[in-house]
Structure 1
């Protein structure tokens, strides 16, 4: 992929249309709502079209998109993607102002926004809202990450995905500002909020400390992701939230009925936990592509992604139980392994592996992860030693869906644990392969919290697989539950599991229900039960419904296969639910057109690529792949055409 500096305005001393970005984060328990406002002004003498791309969490549900032009407020509609694109093109050709927001069909954590036909002197504000679940970290903190980094994605040979073309400038030259504020509320007291960036002091809003606000300190540079860790007291308590349906939606539909979100923390019998033996085959797959030579973050220039991946792997190697089996693969454009087949773990094989890992460099070219995965899956498993696959990568791949599909296909015999190395690692890839591989995902962005994350993943991998998982509901007569989440295939001791269910029907009887998760652990049957009120929570909006809709949409999207027989039926279901819920999908886009523009925009549009802050970028001549780290502002602007 070659760099394309089409319209790098700062080098020409011309004004950039993006003036400022405002981000408001609202966290309720373990769900986050993010509202971003991007303010534009065209100071040129010609009409412009601004095009940029921005990263979002891979499982985020984009649920609102609007534009404010003068006194005119336009709320976008969700439509079939092809129809939306045609309407956008038609609006521009007719001289109307138009706005198009769409996600990548192959890479679910990348979105692009087109701001069309901004006349000279015109200002516009773009509003974007999304909701997402917050992952629980090894130290029980809830992690929220506002991506400021979008790493260019490597396209393997034969891939049909379009390449990303990047315009970038030093962070000191970026001519727009960022403001970021957070409001946290929870049934549990808020212990603290930490961040990789400087924050103003936490302000509590009530005496029981269940509500608080915090802001990003002044002077933030566009040189890193904004990572927040939120800590609650008694965070491991199971909870259930019932949200009322949308009054205007059709009864019986997902948006019209109440939806319950259940958060469970399964507890296993201690007698079983203490008696199980530590055995298994551990296969480690480490990324050695050129991009792994980039720095982890601005704070520690000497720390690179490959050095962090090595440190993470060395810590794991030294912690394996004696008598297990292991092997180590590394990959780039090609792949290597240190042993012809998995070897028994003892002092001699461990020392040999440590020596070889310490010499690993970012010298294998591109990021083709499919080849080594296919080879690993083709190797026969060792009896009585369940195979655990650990993947370390910065996630710079363009064929994310293909990789996740392969992991899912082999999840019956391989659990997959993933480590996203460095800022900007694809959350869609890292979370996707862990979720579909029955494992757990971690993000390593520095040395601060590496050890507890590594040891948590190893602890989970050493747990025997939980079998025969089932979910049952005890509800009043006349009320039934339809589970919207995919079947639970993995449970780990103390790790949260989320279940979404649609509640249908009414009852004049009791207003309480319960959900029970039954499972078998090492042949020992066990169950966890949670009682909850069926009364809808107040002021919850439609957050739970949108997260539930995104869950169903993601499941359907995974069923879609290139040239698949049922593709049209799957696409129809996705488009229908996406339009009904107002939540983004592969096959839909947000379209907004200012049909009341006082006068048509005259003359050809100038395309302006909004420059993104640059930390380090270079061309890897062997793979023609931009392997550097590209910084862009949150919910804002790395550009693709």
Structure 2
């Protein structure tokens, strides 16, 4: 056997992609990402290399170029069919050509084709995109460089396509044959307080004394076993800002690229009197993924399975709901289930019934069919005066991402949607799209993250009063006008950012200042926030704001095209004008400087994408019946049996090559598999967390009962607990105060997980007119704590 390094195809041919270098530049909350991909053909025939890879779902791809020797070729944006035809024509005539296109099914998947790379030749490909950084509930700005591309689940009954999307080839991260280097430069008007990551980083290096500029790099030895995630924290991050960017000098005045564009970043601040009260109503619908991959571990550092963590999270959610609200729990895989036929009122009986069923939930429902349960939820009539709040938990990637998001948008007027992406490779387009179109908030749980605190942060948002009648108005100098480019703001949350883009026209002789106002109704009161800003264009922005604005407009128009049609030409025109990718256009570059045609038959090589290793054990759904039903690399039928992949040397790298080498076989299996009829071994579950033990005993009202189970959770005997109870104090009051003391005394590091249910307990105590000071003193003596009465909550501190 020929001794080749790297992962080999079945024909023992090397992979032509050698390295990926990524440079990130973050300015405040906007990121510019430049990726350089080095290809090298070490074979004796000309190659076509095809690489299908993930990008952030909200990325605006704005540059694509290739350098061969000293020749630089910059791609242009064309309508997708025309670009493909130009690419095919170039290859057939022996010219070098490069094609970059976005998937028509999901905006976070791209295909890069490098055509006619001669023997011994190298090509350096430059890909650039810009993106807004999402604000997490803990105020961190999240950047994610997706490395993992797990197979996309194709819902049952859908006819497969013979388009490039079926050629996604994935390998265990440890077998990826190309290297990754990553570095970042950060700058902000405010000091950078810290940067956290799911990967090992070199120490943060500040470039100036006020710590507003810094650099950071990925530590050496990084493996492709996870996405590269950065969480960037600024001091005083909740400051509204506005950036005006000058238009492109060569663009036509009056066009998007020719006029100045303003990007306004708003952080509404709600009155404290409103925020201090938690809503006591709402219909809370929880939709949980129970596909086979949910049996995977959360991460190598967190041995708990995803489904086990989800069960613990549902326990916390159910204990934290306010009395009098309504709720239901759905779960889905290849089919879906619900605990109640329709949402029921939250009380002790319904909570207990739900928890019994949650405890039995396993990752045993097969694939990732999320569309049907969503349709069923939306068919249920809304409950008067109970705003619907939908929580979606999934680790999956689906083929029909846009259809799912469109469904959520269609029903956005009747609910808010909070979404949670679990594990490596979760589709950012799906998770962010659900929250954006549903007026909610998105969270990603990766690496060592615990699911519970992030979900409870989102529950706090859901319990905030719904903001209604939102309007944005502009106060500009005479002679200056604005055309708003963003869709209307449909949701506002305390302290969360809202972005608005506007195209400015005209000039003013006066001092160039403007004002933008956000007006809204909150808890029956009209409120407004103002932001004054300079109309003078900022320097050195590189058309970033224009491209982000164009991207926003393109996504809005694409949705209209799917709903009503008739705007495809507008999308193509805007995409070509701005140089920003869309689902209807592609980047195409042809090397016309080479006078001689490249000779010889063209051989295709598919570049593998890393997949999280655990995905090789648990695949959502598998079907090899017919090529037209091809399911992105599944292997089994409707069962969820154990799959044992062949040894790496037997690994089939090419998803599309048959024995002929030249012609793609779209029906071929991308992997060599050994399938057994035995079930995968169930990982041993860790010992139940003492915090969850205590929480599981809380009643729906917020109180605890004085019983042996509570005593054991507190680390005491029943006799010790009863003996320490002050005379004349109700047992339930005593038990509840002990539970609160234990939480404040031993679990302050997890306060964000239990704070809401503790508030409910404090509210219950307040209604009992209990002798709190005496109980707190006795409870501290029993548990060995020194918790102050005031620390147990503002409600208790008034007694």
Question: By how many angstroms is 1:179 displaced?
Answer: 0.8
For the residue of structure 2 that corresponds to 1:112, the secondary structure is strand
Q: Does the alignment pair 1:504 with 2:505? A: yes
Q: Deviations over 1:577-629 (max 9, x none)?
A: 00000000010000000011242111221111113335242556665654699
For the residue of structure 2 that corresponds to 1:547, the secondary structure is helix
Task: Indicate how the Cα distance of structure 1 residues 18 and 384 shifts in structure 2: closer, same or farther if over 3 A, else same.
Answer: same
Residue of structure 2 in register with 1:285 after alignment: 287
For the residue of structure 2 that corresponds to 1:278, the secondary structure is coil
Residue of structure 1 in register with 2:603 after alignment: 606
Q: Deviations over 1:114-148 (max 9, x none)?
A: 01011110000100000000011121111101001
Task: Indicate how the Cα distance of structure 1 residues 193 and 177 shifts in structure 2: closer, same or farther if over 3 A, else same.
Answer: same
Q: Which moved more, 1:446-455 or 1:379-388?
A: 446-455
Contact 2:100–2:111 (Cα < 8 Å) also in 1: yes
Task: Indicate how the Cα distance of structure 1 residues 276 and 204 shifts in structure 2: closer, same or farther if over 3 A, else same.
Answer: closer
Partner Cα distance (2:214, 2:654) in 1: 32
Q: Deviations over 1:175-220 (max 9, x none)?
A: 2211100000000000011111111111111111100001000000
Contact 2:57–2:429 (Cα < 8 Å) also in 1: yes
Partner Cα distance (2:474, 2:603) in 1: 58
Q: Please, which runs of 5 or more residues in structure 2 have no aligned partner?
A: 1-5, 625-630, 636-642, 646-652, 657-665, 667-799
Q: Does the alignment pair 1:458 with 2:443? A: no
Contact 1:152–1:164 (Cα < 8 Å) also in 2: no
Residue of structure 2 in register with 1:4 after alignment: none
Residue of structure 2 in register with 1:389 after alignment: 390
Residue of structure 1 in register with 2:431 after alignment: 430
Contact 1:617–1:627 (Cα < 8 Å) also in 2: no
Partner Cα distance (1:264, 1:370) in 2: 33
For the residue of structure 2 that corresponds to 1:560, the secondary structure is helix
Question: By how many angstroms is 1:87 displaced?
Answer: 0.2
Q: Does the alignment pair 1:30 with 2:29? A: yes
1:349-428 aligned within 5 A? 349-428=350-429
1:112-151 aligned within 5 A? 112-151=111-150
Partner Cα distance (1:627, 1:199) in 2: 35
Q: Deviations over 1:449-500 (max 9, x none)?
A: 5343212211111122211111111111110011100001111111111101
For the residue of structure 2 that corresponds to 1:352, the secondary structure is helix
Partner Cα distance (1:429, 1:490) in 2: 19
Q: Does the alignment pair 1:537 with 2:534? A: no
1:93-104 aligned within 5 A? 93-104=92-103
Partner Cα distance (1:638, 1:10) in 2: 6
Question: By how many angstroms is 1:638 displaced?
Answer: 10
Contact 1:52–1:639 (Cα < 8 Å) also in 2: no
Residue of structure 1 in register with 2:60 after alignment: 61
Residue of structure 1 in register with 2:219 after alignment: 217
Question: By how many angstroms is 1:23 displaced?
Answer: 0.2
RMSD: 2.1
Task: Indicate how the Cα distance of structure 1 residues 75 and 279 shifts in structure 2: closer, same or farther if over 3 A, else same.
Answer: same
Normalising by structure 1, what TM-score? 0.93
For the residue of structure 2 that corresponds to 1:574, the secondary structure is helix
1:42-121 aligned within 5 A? 42-121=41-120
Contact 2:52–2:168 (Cα < 8 Å) also in 1: no
Partner Cα distance (2:88, 2:194) in 1: 48
Partner Cα distance (2:130, 2:344) in 1: 45
Q: Does the alignment pair 1:443 with 2:440? A: no
Q: Please, which runs of 5 or more residues in structure 1 have no aligned partner?
A: 1-6, 631-636
Task: Indicate how the Cα distance of structure 1 residues 514 and 627 shifts in structure 2: closer, same or farther if over 3 A, else same.
Answer: farther
Contact 1:198–1:217 (Cα < 8 Å) also in 2: yes
Residue of structure 2 in register with 1:193 after alignment: 195
Runs of 4+ in 1 over 4 A off after TM superposition: 10-13, 618-630, 637-641
Q: Does the alignment pair 1:481 with 2:482? A: yes
Residue of structure 2 in register with 1:251 after alignment: 253
Partner Cα distance (1:256, 1:98) in 2: 30
For the residue of structure 1 that corresponds to 2:412, the secondary structure is coil
For the residue of structure 2 that corresponds to 1:439, the secondary structure is coil
Question: By how many angstroms is 1:274 displaced?
Answer: 3.0
Task: Indicate how the Cα distance of structure 1 residues 299 and 595 shifts in structure 2: closer, same or farther if over 3 A, else same.
Answer: farther
Residue of structure 1 in register with 2:327 after alignment: 326
Contact 1:145–1:228 (Cα < 8 Å) also in 2: yes
Choose 1 or 2 for highest CA Rg: 2
Partner Cα distance (1:403, 1:207) in 2: 48
Q: Which moved more, 1:290-299 or 1:578-587?
A: 290-299
Contact 1:167–1:611 (Cα < 8 Å) also in 2: yes
Task: Indicate how the Cα distance of structure 1 residues 606 and 311 shifts in structure 2: closer, same or farther if over 3 A, else same.
Answer: farther
Question: By how many angstroms is 1:560 displaced?
Answer: 1.2
Task: Indicate how the Cα distance of structure 1 residues 180 and 638 shifts in structure 2: closer, same or farther if over 3 A, else same.
Answer: farther
Question: By how many angstroms is 1:278 displaced?
Answer: 1.7
Match of 1:235 among 227, 237, 241: 237
Q: Which moved more, 1:131-140 or 1:286-295?
A: 286-295
Structure with more of its chain in helix, by fraction: 2
Task: Indicate how the Cα distance of structure 1 residues 432 and 570 shifts in structure 2: closer, same or farther if over 3 A, else same.
Answer: same
Partner Cα distance (1:299, 1:49) in 2: 39
Question: By how many angstroms is 1:395 displaced?
Answer: 3.6
Task: Indicate how the Cα distance of structure 1 residues 559 and 466 shifts in structure 2: closer, same or farther if over 3 A, else same.
Answer: same
For the residue of structure 2 that corresponds to 1:489, the secondary structure is coil
Q: Does the alignment pair 1:548 with 2:552? A: no
Question: By how many angstroms is 1:241 displaced?
Answer: 0.6
Contact 2:153–2:620 (Cα < 8 Å) also in 1: no
For the residue of structure 2 that corresponds to 1:405, the secondary structure is helix
Partner Cα distance (2:601, 2:7) in 1: 19
Question: By how many angstroms is 1:387 displaced?
Answer: 1.2
Question: By how many angstroms is 1:331 displaced?
Answer: 0.8
Q: Which moved more, 1:473-482 or 1:170-179?
A: 170-179
Task: Indicate how the Cα distance of structure 1 residues 168 and 273 shifts in structure 2: closer, same or farther if over 3 A, else same.
Answer: closer
Contact 2:7–2:175 (Cα < 8 Å) also in 1: no
Number of residue-to-residue matches in the alignment: 624
For the residue of structure 1 that corresponds to 2:210, the secondary structure is coil
Partner Cα distance (1:269, 1:593) in 2: 58
Partner Cα distance (1:334, 1:576) in 2: 41
1:298-313 aligned within 5 A? 298-300=300-302, 302-313=303-314
Partner Cα distance (1:131, 1:48) in 2: 30
Contact 1:25–1:182 (Cα < 8 Å) also in 2: yes
Q: Does the alignment pair 1:579 with 2:576? A: yes
For the residue of structure 2 that corresponds to 1:9, the secondary structure is coil
Ranked by relative contact order (alpha carbons within 8 Å, sequence separation 6 or more), the top structure is 1
Residue of structure 2 in register with 1:317 after alignment: 318
Partner Cα distance (2:226, 2:521) in 1: 43
For the residue of structure 1 that corresponds to 2:45, the secondary structure is coil
Partner Cα distance (1:101, 1:581) in 2: 16
Task: Indicate how the Cα distance of structure 1 residues 255 and 475 shifts in structure 2: closer, same or farther if over 3 A, else same.
Answer: same
For the residue of structure 2 that corresponds to 1:585, the secondary structure is coil
Q: Does the alignment pair 1:345 with 2:342? A: no
